[in-house]
A and B are shown apart, each in its own frame.
Chain A
Amino acid sequence: MIEELKVLLLVAIRNLALHKVKTLVVGGILLVGSFLVVFGLSLLGSIENTMSQSIIGSVAGHLQVYSSNARDELALFGSGFFGRDDLGEIEKFEDVKAELLNHPNVADVVPLGFENAFLGRGNLLDDLFERFRATVKAGAESDTLAMVETIKTNLKTVRADLENELKISSIPEDIKKQIADVEEALSENFWSKLPTDPESVLLFLESKIAPLSGEKEPLYLRYMGTNPEQFTQVFRKFKIVSGENIPPGERGILLSQRIYETQIKNIVARGFDNLRKGTVEQRKKISDDVALRTIASDLPKQYLETLVYLNGEQRKEVSSSLKEFLKTDENDIEALMKNFLTVDDSNFSMRYDFFYKIIASKIRLYPFKVGDTINLRSYTRSGFLKTVPLKIYGTYQFSGLESSDLAGVFNFVDMVSYRELYGRMSSEGQKELEELRKEVDLKPVEGASLEDALFGSETALETRSADSTSQDSSSTATRVLEFKRLQTGSYNPKDLNTGMVINASILLKNPRLLATTRAELEQRLSAANMQLKVVDWKQASGTLGQLVTVIRAVLLIAVGIILIVAMAIINNAIMMTTLERTREIGTLRAIGAQRNFILRMFFVETLTIAVLATFLGSLLAGILVAFLGVRGIASPSDFVSFLFGGPRLYPSLSPTVALAAPCVVALLALIFTLYPAFMASRIAPAAAMQDRE
């Protein structure tokens, strides 16, 4: 047997050497095929791995649990549809957590709930007048005078804009009235009232002048309620960038560093940042890239976003620096700033440095900072607008996902504030409400019978109340209204893990047992009569989670097609050589070679070349993957950086793929050798003679 194999191997090597073209074609195809399979599957495996780490390590955990009464599917990173998802509620998180923790593979359960909120944003003049009010209140005369100058300068800009508008307006009367208001605010007479009646000056500016600067779109923020301390301990990628985590028992918000930099920062600074990213990190040219060109062309139009913050002295300083920098005789600061903000590939780098060195320190780069309190506004589940003031404790990011919009999509708030924004009343609030209703003595009336209940009896519609008691009502009005204000900020830290939540992340001790644990947990919850469902991280992440499945399917189909075509070529090549070798095979048959011997000869030939080629193909793929594993593949976009788990993907070779892929390719090659080998084995000894003729 071994002797026969040796002979077959020697014959195969001799034949392969003899038919070089066929050997090269078949070998080349097998090499490329195995290279593609090994490289492609290793790359996909690496992406799946990094993406799962991004999703599991940011908010999803290994499994998610939520109400089985939910009308929509849980989609942490968006379902791809507009509107608000109905995910139902988990009424008593403490019971669910206890039940889940009974499973030996569950390490931790983190309460969650997410919604959209918005922050009202005043226009530039609203901001300016708000700062002016604070300055006047603080009482520092020099600061007040400096701000008056800033306001006057800005008013002149507003007047110039209105005068331009007047030339084209179809409602000139309104514009003339607005110009008159600005003239009034510029007059000495107006400002002479400031020391004696500051409130009237401020109210005039705030109600008559501020609306002239237009309205600013609110800032939309996606927020997630959780137990901040537990979240940090469980999700190791979570890192505080500035400030601190929300302390237990305190109300607050952690802003996403990504949102802070890309949506909240001063718009001119953001423009400079984006241009720098494009030109330096991505090595693009402003002149060649449409997106960069748009940012660059918008910059000069946003000049007021820098000037509005400068007082008289600062304007002089900036003006003189700009004159020197731009080497111009222009004195008008608006023209200078517009000129400075007109950037192109040749001047951008220097202007970027100048902006951050000279201008950025004088303007307000962020409208709010760590330590400030913001008014988060959100629609409750019932659809009513709810406002909750929250202290900004810090900013956060997920390690390795700093540049990903998806990873930084959430701003975290404590679960107690989340419930309030969601419209869930605390037990204390419920009690207060009952007392209030009792005080008013309001009878509940159902909607359908409302008209009958209100007008069904001949009760007097009209009553006359006693005349107010002479003139002391004015003293009633001036008296400070009596009420107690809730000192927002503190709550019992236990409240974070008790009560209503929307969903919860489940972290497993052994993630390899994910599928079985999921099934067991669902059974467990069902047995405990809890109407909840458990989904894995892929399902929980919405359309994003399905992305790898789609990429894998596309890759496998593509590889499948390539292999089928390759095998057809191999089949054809062997058929061609079989025809060429008729005399040789006939001679072998004539000197006693059995059909089986011919079959085996062909198989050994294919196997020899397949083993060599697929090994070489896999080796080359392995070398490339190892090289890229060190060097990394740069992410082409912020979205892909989430899939890559960072700005670069460092792929690794999967041993299973490296072993299985050459075997599969070789097996396919053998299958496609079957037919030509069978044809060859049927060649009769006489064929050798015929061929000679």
Chain B
Amino acid sequence: MKTSLFTNCLVLAAASLLSSAQALALNDTDLKKLVVELDERQRNSGDYKSVVFIEQSEKGKVTQAFEATVFRRDADDKWMLIFTKPKSEAGKGYLRLDKNLFSYEPALGKWERRTDRAGIGGTNSRRQDFDESRLSEEYAAKFVADEKLGKFDVHHIALTAKPEADVASPILHLWVDKESRNILKRQERSLSDKLLRTVYYPAWDKKFSKSKGADVYVPKQIRIVDEVEKGNGTTVVLRDSNLDSLPANIFTKAWLESQSR
């Protein structure tokens, strides 16, 4: 009798949990709205500049670290990164124009055109990590579940790349804080659904953008975990973010070269 009562209680508890989860689940409209909002919160529509610290570690041991300044002009889809530290990397840079990623080597004074999917500075971070968010354009979203991430209540959603989209990861999973609507965790998966990278966003910065006339959300810290090479990871810290207009001629090879002289 006792057992039966206990079982009934369990079933009831499970049913109530399930029903509350279903009540909290995002419907298609809300889901679409959320993905658009995620892009919109990060969209600046103007210029952006930030100092970035990238640290690469292997089996818990720091193997590389860089400091760089990243520049972005979302209106023209232009992007640029110049390393400032350490001295051995300082002056090296990347300039993205159209689908080309040009890398600059100051010791040679030479440029090289590469695919824009290449890792930045040989680390596990990619151009997309510093680029404008285009989730709603490039992916189709699906609600997975409401979950807990640490002490935070989050929506877990899955994104699959649209056929025509040229993206680095065909499948993404996002964990979005219900309260602040910030992305806290992102998993990047291959077409065969193999987990490749997990990216954490433990801190966000909110800034008012004059060009947008609204707030823009910029991650302050990004922790990238390499799921293929276990124990390897990258930490990115963004500082001194600035949303004001950059000079018109800045996204050129000549300008980047001028910084290394």
Is the beta-carbon distance between A461 and B86 smaller than 8 angstroms?
no
The verdict on A385 contacting chain B, using a C-beta distance below 8 Å, is yes
The verdict on B137 contacting chain A, using a C-beta distance below 8 Å, is no
Instruction: Write out the residue numbers on chain B whose beta carbons fall within 8 Å of the beta carbon of A207.
Output: 97-98, 100, 102
Is the beta-carbon distance between A375 and B259 smaller than 8 angstroms?
no
Q: How far is the CB of B58 from chain A (nearest CB, A)?
A: 4
Q: CA separation between A473 and B207, bound complex, in Å? A: 14
The verdict on A116 contacting chain B, using a C-beta distance below 8 Å, is no
Instruction: Write out the residue numbers on chain A whose beta carbons fall within 8 Å of the beta carbon of B53.
Output: 436, 440, 442
- Considering only CB atoms, which chain A residue lies closest to B49 in the complex? A477
Is the beta-carbon distance between B180 and A462 smaller than 8 angstroms?
yes
The verdict on A122 contacting chain B, using a C-beta distance below 8 Å, is yes
Is the beta-carbon distance between B202 and A455 smaller than 8 angstroms?
yes
- Considering only CB atoms, which chain B residue lies closest to A458 in the complex? B151
Instruction: Write out the residue numbers on chain B whose beta carbons fall within 8 Å of the beta carbon of A423.
Output: 63-64
Is the beta-carbon distance between B112 and A474 smaller than 8 angstroms?
no
Instruction: Write out the residue numbers on chain A whose beta carbons fall within 8 Å of the beta carbon of B110.
Output: 130, 375
Q: When the two chains form the complex, which single residue of A122, A384, A486 contacts B90, counting CB atoms closer than 8 Å?
A: A486
Q: CA separation between A133 and B152, bound complex, in Å? A: 54
Q: When the two chains form the complex, which single residue of A433, A445, A481 contacts B86, counting CB atoms closer than 8 Å?
A: A433
Q: CA separation between A436 and B83, bound complex, in Å? A: 13
Instruction: Write out the residue numbers on chain A whose beta carbons fall within 8 Å of the beta carbon of B229.
Output: 383
Instruction: Write out the residue numbers on chain A whose beta carbons fall within 8 Å of the beta carbon of B204.
Output: 461-463
- Considering only CB atoms, which chain A residue lies closest to B93 in the complex? A481
CB under 8 Å from chain A, chain B span 210-253: 217, 220, 223, 225, 229-233, 235, 237, 239, 241-247, 249-250, 252-253
The verdict on A451 contacting chain B, using a C-beta distance below 8 Å, is yes
The verdict on B56 contacting chain A, using a C-beta distance below 8 Å, is yes
Is the beta-carbon distance between B87 and A432 smaller than 8 angstroms?
yes
The verdict on A536 contacting chain B, using a C-beta distance below 8 Å, is no
Is the beta-carbon distance between B91 and A467 smaller than 8 angstroms?
no
Is the beta-carbon distance between B112 and A488 smaller than 8 angstroms?
no
Q: When the two chains form the complex, which single residue of A199, A437, A446, A452 contacts B65, counting CB atoms closer than 8 Å?
A: A437
Is the beta-carbon distance between A447 and B233 smaller than 8 angstroms?
yes
Q: When the two chains form the complex, which single residue of B64, B113, B200, B207 contacts A450, counting CB atoms closer than 8 Å?
A: B200
Is the beta-carbon distance between A478 and B250 smaller than 8 angstroms?
yes
Interface residues in A, total, Cβ within 8 A: 67
The verdict on B169 contacting chain A, using a C-beta distance below 8 Å, is no
The verdict on A427 contacting chain B, using a C-beta distance below 8 Å, is no
Q: When the two chains form the complex, which single residue of B118, B207, B258 contacts A480, counting CB atoms closer than 8 Å?
A: B258
The verdict on B15 contacting chain A, using a C-beta distance below 8 Å, is no
Instruction: Write out the residue numbers on chain A whose beta carbons fall within 8 Å of the beta carbon of B69.
Output: 481
Instruction: Write out the residue numbers on chain B whose beta carbons fall within 8 Å of the beta carbon of A458.
Output: 151
- Considering only CB atoms, which chain B residue lies closest to A454 in the complex? B202
Instruction: Write out the residue numbers on chain A whose beta carbons fall within 8 Å of the beta carbon of B250.
Output: 477-478
Q: When the two chains form the complex, which single residue of B85, B114, B151, B231 contacts A483, counting CB atoms closer than 8 Å?
A: B85
Per-residue interface assignment for chain A, residues 202 to 226, with 1 indicating a CB less than 8 Å from any chain B CB and 0 otherwise: 1100111011000000000000000
Instruction: Write out the residue numbers on chain B whose beta carbons fall within 8 Å of the beta carbon of A203.
Output: 97, 252-253
Instruction: Write out the residue numbers on chain B whose beta carbons fall within 8 Å of the beta carbon of A206.
Output: 97, 100, 102, 111, 113, 253
Is the beta-carbon distance between A474 and B244 smaller than 8 angstroms?
yes
The verdict on A347 contacting chain B, using a C-beta distance below 8 Å, is no
Instruction: Write out the residue numbers on chain B whose beta carbons fall within 8 Å of the beta carbon of A380.
Output: 63, 122
CB under 8 Å from chain A, chain B span 111-146: 111-114, 118-119, 122-124
Q: When the two chains form the complex, which single residue of B82, B220, B230, B253 contacts A481, counting CB atoms closer than 8 Å?
A: B82
The verdict on A262 contacting chain B, using a C-beta distance below 8 Å, is no
Q: CA separation between A402 and B235, bound complex, in Å? A: 49
- Considering only CB atoms, which chain B residue lies closest to A476 in the complex? B242
Q: CA separation between A335 and B177, bound complex, in Å? A: 66
Is the beta-carbon distance between A456 and B259 smaller than 8 angstroms?
no
The verdict on B17 contacting chain A, using a C-beta distance below 8 Å, is no
Is the beta-carbon distance between A473 and B49 smaller than 8 angstroms?
yes
Q: A202-B253, A461-B182 are in contact. Are A488 and B88 (CB under 8 A)?
A: yes
Q: When the two chains form the complex, which single residue of B60, B150, B241 contacts A454, counting CB atoms closer than 8 Å?
A: B150
The verdict on A468 contacting chain B, using a C-beta distance below 8 Å, is yes
The verdict on A382 contacting chain B, using a C-beta distance below 8 Å, is yes
Q: CA separation between A483 and B151, bound complex, in Å? A: 41
Is the beta-carbon distance between A122 and B112 smaller than 8 angstroms?
yes
Is the beta-carbon distance between A474 and B245 smaller than 8 angstroms?
yes
The verdict on A387 contacting chain B, using a C-beta distance below 8 Å, is yes
Is the beta-carbon distance between B206 and A382 smaller than 8 angstroms?
no
Is the beta-carbon distance between A486 and B49 smaller than 8 angstroms?
no
Instruction: Write out the residue numbers on chain B whose beta carbons fall within 8 Å of the beta carbon of A477.
Output: 49, 71, 242, 246-247, 250
Q: When the two chains form the complex, which single residue of B88, B113, B242 contacts A468, counting CB atoms closer than 8 Å?
A: B242
Instruction: Write out the residue numbers on chain A whose beta carbons fall within 8 Å of the beta carbon of B92.
Output: 387
Q: How far is the CB of B220 from chain A (nearest CB, A)?
A: 7
Instruction: Write out the residue numbers on chain A whose beta carbons fall within 8 Å of the beta carbon of B112.
Output: 120, 122, 375
The verdict on B167 contacting chain A, using a C-beta distance below 8 Å, is no
Interface secondary structure of B, over-half rule? strand
Instruction: Write out the residue numbers on chain A whose beta carbons fall within 8 Å of the beta carbon of B62.
Output: 433, 437
Instruction: Write out the residue numbers on chain A whose beta carbons fall within 8 Å of the beta carbon of B99.
Output: 211
Q: CA separation between A123 and B69, bound complex, in Å? A: 30
Instruction: Write out the residue numbers on chain B whose beta carbons fall within 8 Å of the beta carbon of A483.
Output: 83-85, 87, 90-91
The verdict on A126 contacting chain B, using a C-beta distance below 8 Å, is yes
The verdict on B23 contacting chain A, using a C-beta distance below 8 Å, is no
The verdict on B105 contacting chain A, using a C-beta distance below 8 Å, is yes
Q: CA separation between A373 and B109, bound complex, in Å? A: 10
Q: CA separation between A384 and B69, bound complex, in Å? A: 21
The verdict on A20 contacting chain B, using a C-beta distance below 8 Å, is no
Is the beta-carbon distance between B247 and A384 smaller than 8 angstroms?
no
The verdict on A328 contacting chain B, using a C-beta distance below 8 Å, is no
Q: CA separation between A374 and B109, bound complex, in Å? A: 11
Is the beta-carbon distance between B225 and A447 smaller than 8 angstroms?
yes
The verdict on A693 contacting chain B, using a C-beta distance below 8 Å, is no
- Considering only CB atoms, which chain B residue lies closest to A386 in the complex? B122
- Considering only CB atoms, which chain A residue lies closest to B261 in the complex? A480
The verdict on A516 contacting chain B, using a C-beta distance below 8 Å, is no
Q: CA separation between A210 and B185, bound complex, in Å? A: 38
Q: A436-B67, A463-B206 are in contact. Are A384 and B235 (CB under 8 A)?
A: no
Q: How far is the CB of A568 from chain B (nearest CB, A)?
A: 64
Instruction: Write out the residue numbers on chain B whose beta carbons fall within 8 Å of the beta carbon of A542.
Output: none
Q: A456-B151, A473-B244 are in contact. Are A447 and B65 (CB under 8 A)?
A: no
Q: Which of A458, A467, A477, A478 has the most CB of B within 10 A?
A: A477
Instruction: Write out the residue numbers on chain B whose beta carbons fall within 8 Å of the beta carbon of A375.
Output: 105, 108, 110, 112
Q: How far is the CB of A322 from chain B (nearest CB, A)?
A: 33
Q: How far is the CB of A180 from chain B (nearest CB, A)?
A: 14
The verdict on A283 contacting chain B, using a C-beta distance below 8 Å, is no
The verdict on A484 contacting chain B, using a C-beta distance below 8 Å, is yes
The verdict on A464 contacting chain B, using a C-beta distance below 8 Å, is yes
Q: CA separation between A375 and B180, bound complex, in Å? A: 46
Q: A384-B63, A483-B84 are in contact. Are A442 and B232 (CB under 8 A)?
A: no
Is the beta-carbon distance between A464 and B207 smaller than 8 angstroms?
yes
The verdict on A6 contacting chain B, using a C-beta distance below 8 Å, is no
Is the beta-carbon distance between B259 and A463 smaller than 8 angstroms?
no
Q: When the two chains form the complex, which single residue of A133, A387, A478 contacts B247, counting CB atoms closer than 8 Å?
A: A478
Instruction: Write out the residue numbers on chain B whose beta carbons fall within 8 Å of the beta carbon of A420.
Output: 88
Is the beta-carbon distance between B63 and A373 smaller than 8 angstroms?
no
Instruction: Write out the residue numbers on chain A whose beta carbons fall within 8 Å of the beta carbon of B241.
Output: 465
Q: How far is the CB of A1 from chain B (nearest CB, A)?
A: 84
Per-residue interface assignment for chain B, residues 69 to 97, with 1 indicating a CB less than 8 Å from any chain A CB and 0 otherwise: 10100000000001111111011100001
Instruction: Write out the residue numbers on chain B whose beta carbons fall within 8 Å of the beta carbon of A248.
Output: none
The verdict on B157 contacting chain A, using a C-beta distance below 8 Å, is no
Smallest CB-CB A-B distances: 8 pairs: A455-B150, A473-B244, A385-B122, A486-B87, A389-B107, A483-B84, A454-B202, A207-B97
20 new A-B contacts, CB < 8 A, other than A447-B231, A455-B152, A486-B86, are A120-B112, A122-B112, A206-B97, A207-B98, A384-B119, A429-B86, A433-B64, A436-B85, A451-B150, A454-B150, A454-B200, A454-B223, A462-B182, A463-B204, A468-B244, A474-B245, A477-B247, A485-B91, A485-B106, A486-B87
20 example contacts (A-B, Cβ-Cβ < 8 A) are as follows A122-B112, A208-B98, A211-B113, A373-B107, A384-B64, A384-B122, A442-B235, A444-B60, A451-B149, A454-B223, A462-B182, A462-B205, A467-B208, A473-B242, A474-B245, A474-B246, A477-B242, A483-B91, A485-B260, A486-B90
